Structure 1
Amino acid sequence: MKSLRWKLLLPLILLVLSQRASHAGDALVPLASPGPWPALSALIGYGGRVWFVNSVKFVDHNSADIYSYDPASGKARYERHLFSQDAGRPVVAGGLLYWPFEDPRFSTGRGEYLVTNGRDWQWRILPDGEVFHVHALFAHGGALFAATSAWRAGLQRSEDGSAWRVIYDHPTPPRAVTRITTLASLGATLYAGLTDYLPEGSKLLRWDGDTLRPVTGWPAGTMVTALVAYGGWLYGVNKTPEGSALWRTDGKKVQRVAALNRHHVRELAAGADALWAVSGEEKGVALWRSADGMNWTVEQHFKDALPLDLLIYGGKVYVGTDGPKRRGTLWGPRAPSPSEPQPEAAPLTRTASPLPADRLQAELDQLGRILADPSSYEYHGRRILERLQSLALSGMSEVGAALAARLAGPFPEMKIAIFGKQLTVSAATMARWYMLWAMALNGHGRVSPELLSLPFKEKPNRPEKYLHLASAAAWAVAEIGQRDGETIAALIAALGRKGQPRWIGGDYIGALTVLTDQRFGYDVAAWRAWWAGRRADLSGEMIRIPAGTLLMGSDQGEAAERPVHRVKLSSFFIDRYETSNKEFAGFVRAAGYVTSAERSGVGWHWEGEWREVKGADWRHPHGPSSSIEGLENHPVVQVSWNDAAAYCQWRGKRLPAEAEWERAARGEGKRIYPWGDQPPRAGKFYRASFGGDQCCRADAGDGYLFTAPVGSFSFGRSPFGVEDMAGNVWEWVEDWFDADFYRRSPAENPVNRQPAERRVIRGGGWGNDPSGLRSTLRHANPPESGLSMVGFRCAR
């Protein structure tokens, strides 16, 4: 029995010895292996959490997912999918976290990256220069720098994290490749580590104000990696065909760090009182520490794990490894770290370059001609991409709608060899691939869920590039915010589909996470179980609002909003989106319905004041010269309360009661707007379609002069996921308007059915200021009136 106990204890003793640290209790332990891929790298601290990427490196490298780890709770969570073969080195700048795409899978020759404030995310591009890779982003001197490469290494600079300019292209001989893969600063000087497989000359470069120049005295080699500043010195790993060595410079002299000779140093990190390194292969796998940068001691050995990355955050050491058991693992201190108060997340702003109407049509016409021209598909479709880029960056919904329609074709009947003739695709596939990229960048349009159902039939190729349209469609629906039930069902059905590589599932999981706010990661069973339950809550495009109580009204609002009173509501369903022109057109065709405005010959349009306009109706919302052509997915307007009630009845539904509407918008009633108390606009970032900060006028600051496509502002969703409950259009509800109704309102399921002159409208519209978007605001109109800022949604 004693012998058996000893045999059981021996492996544990050896494990403890293998994790020896110089300070008692400092041994690093595995903290999390949350993803399915073997590599865990790109460690960075932000918002009190340790962020990292789980990916496949080198062979079969088409997966990269961002996770974060909370040192206080000891829990990791899935954050976001990168549509890239791997991630570059991230950076924190201006209160935001930036994630570069090391090798974007769209392969448009544009650099790509994600930016987040820890809550919201945006996908952005480096539009200029030839960029296949963004290896690293780095903050220096109040600006952001991007280390890029295609065939030539490059450096780009941004003052605001959005607009970029090329400041350096590395001289590169024909048929050669150079890259800048790492950036660091020592004092006021920016340094870059160059990769150039010609072993002549220094590969450590220094920015001298107008270009990068080799650092004098730095040894020759093929690349410099793992740059970090510590104690007045810049340390870097210099690689040669014979191996690698650690060197340092203070900007004047250069020294070799002999203590780590023949150790393959993979990464460096600087703490307050020590320099740290991880090494792997050749002479062992270890964590190293040095107080002076010259004398080093082993702090810990790793068994069955290869260190890839290193981070010092909150005074703690974290290591990312390949393994154990081929699972990327985060290592760190066993004891949890107390959380510290974090500053409020910086808002994200989105920039767009809208096109004048005449130029927009000219650009779309030109795109049509280019797509029909077989010569446009030469050089990886460069002409197609150039035209799509300006359209995509316009941010205009008309562009998204036009591209969605153009996906249907036609395209030239031809094959194109790309990526050094290692991959052959049809012209139709190339065109659709790039148009999905443009739709995603534009943020508008609708992707057919049928594209998400395409089986994976791609043939293996050496660069592992696959123009699988279902993958591009998954990225596009996420960026567009296409949350309808048909889309979600198609994504769920695609999970675990037979015959497709596992990394394809990562594309669908990434889209599902964005669209549903669920974080099941690669747990396919959990996704299916969630959808089985969620489907029961959805009827068509309806959302189930559970029974509950609501603090209705506001004591700080207008007189009709008072007093605040508690009401109890039964469960009900409400449309996720406002009723669209397309949906209303189907009703008109099927029922032969004629609206109030069509019968009377007049509607009301807002032009700084309400004006009665002859010929204004739902097909011509601003008058006879206007049209809803191209606005099929915009909310229908110029519909009276009577029209709205007739439509809902035709659908087997009804208009929501006023209390139901406010419950769907505010939850329990402790928020000003559906999304919370933050204003609807922060800089150029909008949570709703509205008229700007001054009342009351049409304003295109949100990207739309009048209405926006339903569901365009995903960050403005209500707590139940209902879209556009603030802005876009006011919405008819069931109740007659009585300014004093709240004083005698029933406590349970209240509806004011006492006839009066006007019916209630809620939510604010495209011409209102932020005050007009408050979820407690009550306005009203005659039930027979059609107005250009009033629509509806149904309930049941």
Structure 2
Amino acid sequence: MSDACCMPGRGSLPPDDVGAATGRGVDTGRLHKVDQRPVAAGTFVMGDAHGDGLRADGELPLHVVELSGFVIDETAVTTTDFAAFVDATGYRTSAERAGTSAVFGALVADDSTVVGRAPTAPWWVEVRGADWAHPEGPGSDIATRADHPVVHVSFVDAQAYCDWAGRSLPTEAQWEYAARGGLHGARFPWGDELVDASGVRRCAIYAPDLWGAPFPAEQGIGVGVIPTMPVRSFAPNGFGLWQTVGNVWEWCADRYDPRYYRHSPRQDPTGPDRGASRVLRGGSYLCDDSYCSRYRVAARSHNTVESSSGNTGFRTVARSR
């Protein structure tokens, strides 16, 4: 994992085994209920135009990308959407099969459920019973999160949902182009400044007023705090997409290689042919300028295909015909 502030990793399936784990090829029709936005074919400069990113993340060099038109979800897939998939298929996520998933330690109400900590980021704890339906572990639920993004989904889980719904995960280039909303070279979907003219923040990132301390707020903050926000919070970008930065990280289809931009094709790039981890985009509610500024549209992260955490979800695109 490139930076443990984002999410800790779990052991990966070999890349060639991902299809077998997800049941690839199953298409049961128009089951996906998330509202869609068409994105017209276009050309943009992909990458970090401001020099904000870490060199190791591979946000450079800037390079021109030409994309064919596509259709993308307006929002991240919600807990309601994912529950419909689980109800229809009986699917068990990576976290459910493993019996644990990664939770921000300040959210854990019962220390007896903690089975481990990330060695380089002790604010990340592995919690027994944490999964998409129990985001902070046993005793938590999604009853009040119907319109929140689903979390604790691995790449394998997101791909399984796509296969059931006849969808695909966006390529990294599709994701960045859509997230920019037509503002080429801007840091954020709305411009270059984190806050608007009235000083109001435009995305869900780490909030010291909520956590009660600067990042990482390792001490508990009490039972019942919900770190994610409804998927239609704040305002949509120029393409009508909501919260492409902040709230939750979103899986992309591409394998990750920090050197890929050096030789990425100009037309409809789909990522490197090999690699054990997959790209994540958009940052999450745990991003903070003091530690991790990956809530920019150019920012890149990655994780192994079976990894899950309380700040990782996904959105989909229409499958190419």
Residue 649 of structure 1, aligned match among 152, 163, 181: 163
SS at 2:253's partner residue?
strand
Match of 2:309?
A: 787
Residue 722 of structure 1, aligned match among 213, 232, 241: 241
Q: Does 1:577 align with 2:75?
A: yes
Whole-angstrom distance in 2 between the partners of 1:718 and 1:683:
18
Give 1:289-304 correspondences, 5 Å limit: none
TM score, norm. by length of structure 1: 0.31
Match of 2:144?
A: 630
In 2 relative to 1, CA 540–641 (structure 1 residues): closer, same or farther, beyond 3 Å?
closer
Q: Does 1:674 align with 2:172?
A: no
Match of 1:598?
A: 96
Give per-residue Cα distances to partners, 1:691-730, cap 9 Å, x unaligned. 0375456999xxx75000111111xx22211001011100
More strand by share: 1
Q: Which amino acid aligns with 2:81?
A: E
Give per-residue Cα distances to partners, 1:189-213, cap 9 Å, x unaligned. xxxxxxxxxxxxxxxxxxxxxxxxx
SS at 2:83's partner residue?
helix
Match of 1:121?
A: none
Match of 2:28?
A: none
Give per-residue Cα distances to partners, 1:467-492, cap 9 Å, x unaligned. xxxxxxxxxxxxxxxxxxxxxxxxxx
TM-aligned CA deviation for residue 610 of structure 1: 2.3
Q: Does 1:552 align with 2:14?
A: no
Match of 1:612?
A: 126
Give per-residue Cα distances to partners, 1:716-754, cap 9 Å, x unaligned. x22211001011100000011101010110111111142
Match of 2:300?
A: 778
TM-aligned CA deviation for residue 690 of structure 1: 1.1
Q: Which amino acid aligns with 2:190?
A: W
Match of 2:205?
A: 690
Whole-angstrom distance in 2 between the partners of 1:640 and 1:682:
37
Give per-residue Cα distances to partners, 1:622-677, cap 9 Å, x unaligned. 11122111111110000000100111221111000000000001135321001111
Contact in 2 for aligned 1:567/1:746 (Cα 8 Å): yes
TM-aligned CA deviation for residue 584 of structure 1: 0.3
Contact in 1 for aligned 2:47/2:298 (Cα 8 Å): yes
Match of 2:259?
A: 740
TM-aligned CA deviation for residue 684 of structure 1: 6.6
Whole-angstrom distance in 2 between the partners of 1:615 and 1:681:
39
Whole-angstrom distance in 2 between the partners of 1:623 and 1:683:
38
Q: Which runs of 5+ in 2 are unaligned?
A: 1-32, 106-121, 209-213
Contact in 1 for aligned 2:128/2:137 (Cα 8 Å): yes
Give 1:291-440 correspondences, 5 Å limit: none
Residue 284 of structure 2, aligned match among 765, 772, 775: 765
Contact in 2 for aligned 1:580/1:633 (Cα 8 Å): yes
Query: Percent identity over the alignment?
Result: 42
Whole-angstrom distance in 1 between the partners of 2:298 and 2:217:
21
SS at 1:773's partner residue?
coil
In 2 relative to 1, CA 625–582 (structure 1 residues): closer, same or farther, beyond 3 Å?
same
Larger Rg: 1
Higher RCO (CA < 8 A, seq sep 6+): 2
TM score, norm. by length of structure 2: 0.74
Give 1:85-100 correspondences, 5 Å limit: none
Match of 2:175?
A: 661
Whole-angstrom distance in 2 between the partners of 1:660 and 1:696:
32
Contact in 2 for aligned 1:582/1:632 (Cα 8 Å): yes
Whole-angstrom distance in 1 between the partners of 2:268 and 2:227:
34
TM-aligned CA deviation for residue 603 of structure 1: 0.6
Give per-residue Cα distances to partners, 1:269-293, cap 9 Å, x unaligned. xxxxxxxxxxxxxxxxxxxxxxxxx
Q: CA RMSD for the aligned pairs?
A: 2.2
Whole-angstrom distance in 2 between the partners of 1:605 and 1:727:
17
TM-aligned CA deviation for residue 591 of structure 1: 1.1
Give per-residue Cα distances to partners, 1:582-622, cap 9 Å, x unaligned. 11000000111111110110111123632221111101111
Q: Which amino acid aligns with 1:729?
A: V
TM-aligned CA deviation for residue 772 of structure 1: 2.3
Give per-residue Cα distances to partners, 1:153-180, cap 9 Å, x unaligned. xxxxxxxxxxxxxxxxxxxxxxxxxxxx
Match of 1:187?
A: none
Q: How many equivalent pairs are there?
A: 253
Residue 706 of structure 1, aligned match among 201, 223, 227: 227
SS at 2:156's partner residue?
helix
Residue 269 of structure 2, aligned match among 745, 750, 765: 750
Q: Which amino acid aligns with 1:583?
A: D
